[in-house]
Amino acid sequence: MRTTTTIAAIAAATTLLLAGCGGEEAADSEASSSLSMSDPWVKSADDGMTAAFGELANDGDDDVTVVAVTSPASPMIELHETVDDGSGEMTMREIEGGFVIPAGESMTLEPGGNHIMLMDLTGPIAAGDEVTFTLELSDGSTLDVEAPAKDYAGANENYEEGETDHDMGDMS
Amino acid sequence: MTTGDDERRPQLSRRRLLMGGAAAGVGAVAAVGVDAVWRSSSSPAPPLHGDETVSFHGTHQAGVTTAPPAHATFLGLDLRDGVDGEALRRLMQILTDDARRLTDGRAALADSEPELATVPARLSVTFGFGPRFVERAAGTAARPSWLRPLPAFGIDRLEERWSDGDLLIQVAAEDPLTVAHAVRMVLKDSRSFATVRWSQTGFRRARGSERPGTTMRNLFGQVDGTANLAAEEFDRLVWIQEGWLAGGTSFVMRRIHMDLDEWDRLDRDGREQSVGRRLSNGAPLTGTQEHDEPDFEATNSLGFPVIAEFSHIRRAHSEDPDEQILRRAYNYDLAPSGEEVSDSGLIFGSFQADVDRQFVPVQRRLDELDLLNKWTVPIGSSVFAIPPGCGPDGYIGETLLE
Ligand code: HEM
Ligand SMILES: [Cu+2]
């Protein structure tokens, strides 16, 4: 989980590694070649659940859909949206159809909005750790992203299917 | 002091500011909308001080020889138990990333008030390491011999709550709201590694109130900072040349209470005698202009020295060309308590390549004799190693922590 690469290098270069590609011609048309993620970060947590954020940008001519995310940090990861549950409370739940980033547009994953939800941490994520995520796109291509962990007090929305004391990371 | 590292942010970069904010959480669509409005407005907007930046990257950290901005907050942190070299590396990577973004007018990662980050106002964030930081990072061998509390001085009335500390973060800008936001951000990101030991806030004249380069005045009304190191001397006397501190320096911070109520009882002549300079323009008592060389040999009609034996500048002055320091002071003014009507003083900062060789002899002379001691009392003292600067892919402290 930890690497010697600095946060700066990652944030500046937005380390995006193209993975799982076929021939060279095919690589160009893969959705992962037009998608990038900048300023990724993950909320530090001792155990349980937490969430990752950042800015997804699609500079291609076709819409890109993130259908799943995997990471060594959690065996189960969901793509979440945050919605008003009808009573004025904000609740997060799995987004149907994944994150769709229209051609030429971007999507901000942020506390209180769409986010990548780590459902069951394999171990603590401490501030300054770097967590690798693999974004799986609808055409089967993938994008690797490294996100530094930061302490963050917000992002405490309730989880619809979970117990109420599960939030996006535990600050204590 | 140099202003060469200051950059005036071109108006075009406002777009980048907005996009930076967008990346940190403001809706991207909204930011693009504002940008379009900005570009279509016909009259060119006047340049704003708030847009100016001081480059974070370089051989040296900013905030040492940088022209001091109007506001500064100095934070002294204590490391939590069990924070080892590996944790310190994570801490300094996070803090460097915060500083790099904020000094550029961009929100930090996970910045919960990204809008407060868009006015850099010449923000600089400077890091310093206390003895314990260095020892935890790389063992006692890495600690320079001068990195320890200063020797005790007779004039000292040091309070623990203003002294020592493992990690120094100096946050300075022309705008106090910018400083407050940056302070909040770096403290939030330090919280799981360290606790706040002290926080000291200081000020100078507001930006634009005086011509740039005007020597500051302290709360005694004195022109303070006239005889300071020249830029040509920085390489020799400020920057360390070898080891993990190459490109770095040392910082002595003295919190000195100034008894303004007692000072009020002193007439103008006595005030000028105590320092050896005029209050009007800071000229030495033997000259007429601020930068006239003091003549320490000159005597009056009675045969007494014009610049008195007990005067601050005679005592602080050194003929030894190696025994010089770079002073960079800020005023403080807190709420008074009890019968007093002010709780004021100086956050006296001094940068030098070697504390023992350059700073201590001066402080020792002032301890032995200096009329100013009648009205000034050191109540806080700390010494930090200021590591070198870093490049866009590096972090502050990498020469110690890697
Ligand atoms: C509240 C405490 C202090 C006050 C109010 C004060 C004030 C002043 C003033 C008004 C001057 C003359 C103008 C100038 O050259 O800057 C001066 C000079 C100086 N001060 Fe201080 N000072 C204080 C503490 C210190 C301390 C703690 C040190 C070092 C240990 C120090 C070292 C010097 C030096 C080196 C000079 C220049 C002497 C020269 O002409 O070569 N001062 N100070
Ligand atoms: Cu969630």
Mean residue pLDDT of chain B comes to 91
State the helix-helix crossing angle for B176-190 and B85-103, rounded to 10 degrees.
160
Which chain A residues are closer than 8 Å to B398 by Cβ? 6
* Tally of residues, chain B: 402
Q: What pLDDT band is residue B221 in, cutting at 50, 70 and 90?
A: very high
Quick one: B101 exposed, middle or buried, by C-beta within 10 A (0-12, 13-18, 19+)?
buried
The ranges assigned to domains in chain A are: 1-31, 35-158
- The CATH code for residues A35-158 is 2.60.40.1890
Neighboring chain B residues of A108 at a CB cutoff of 8 Å: 22-23, 25, 27-28
pLDDT at position B264, please?
A: 96
d(CA B394, CA A37): 21
How much is the average pLDDT of B229-237?
A: 97
Note the Cα B181 to chain centre separation in Å.
Answer: 17
pTM for the full predicted model: 0.87
pLDDT category, B272, cuts 50, 70, 90?
Answer: very high
Tally of CB atoms within 10 A around B383: 25
* Rounded CA separation A153/B76 (Å): 23
Higher pLDDT, A159 or B318: B318
Chain segment B82-140, per-residue pLDDT in tens? 999 999 999 999 999 999 999 999 999 999 999 999 999 999 999 999 999 999 999 99
According to the model, what pLDDT value does residue A142 have? 97
- Model pLDDT, residue B6: 52
The pLDDT value recorded for residue B44 is 76
Q: Which DSSP category does B243 fall into?
A: G
pLDDT digits over B310-363, tens only?
Answer: 999 999 999 999 999 999 999 999 999 998 899 999 999 999 999 999 999 999
Give contacts of A 93-132 with B, CB under 8 A.
105-106, 108, 110-111, 126-129
B-contacting residues of A 59-88, CB under 8 Å?
none
A51 contacts in chain B (CB < 8 Å): none
Distance of CA B222 to CAs A11, B25, B49, B268, B361, Å?
47, 47, 27, 11, 23
Spatial separation of the C-alpha atoms in residues A127 and A42, rounded to whole Å: 9
- Phi then psi for residue B94, to 5 deg, are -65, -50
pLDDT at B354: 98
Look at residue A17 in the predicted model and tell me its pLDDT: 43
Structure tokens belonging to residue B56: 């974070």
Q: Report the pLDDT averaged over residues A98-125.
A: 97
**Which of the listed residues B312, B317, B324, B352 should we mutate to test ligand 1's pocket, taking the one with most ligand atoms within 8 A of CB?**
B312
Report the pLDDT value the prediction gives residue B46, as an integer from 0 to 100.
81
pLDDT at B261 over 50: yes
ipTM: 0.82
Region B57-68 average pLDDT: 98
pLDDT band at A89 (very low <50, low <70, confident <90, very high): confident
Task: Inform me whether the C-beta atom of residue A43 falls under 8 Å from chain B C-beta atoms.
Answer: yes
Instruction: Identify how many contiguous H helices and E strands chain B contains and give both numbers.
Output: 11, 11
Question: What would the mean pLDDT of B23-47 be, rounded to a whole number?
Answer: 51
Report the pLDDT value the prediction gives residue A24, as an integer from 0 to 100.
Answer: 42
DSSP B63-98: SSSBPP-SEEEEEEEEEPTT--HHHHHHHHHHHHHH
Structure tokens, A25: 């011609």
Among B150, B224, B322, B362, say which to mutate for ligand 1: greatest number of ligand atoms within 8 Å of CB: B224
Res A170: pLDDT: 46
pLDDT at A55 over 90: yes
* pLDDT at B248 (0 to 100): 98
CB B258 less than 6 A from any atom of ligand 1: yes
Q: Where are the domains of chain B?
A: 71-401
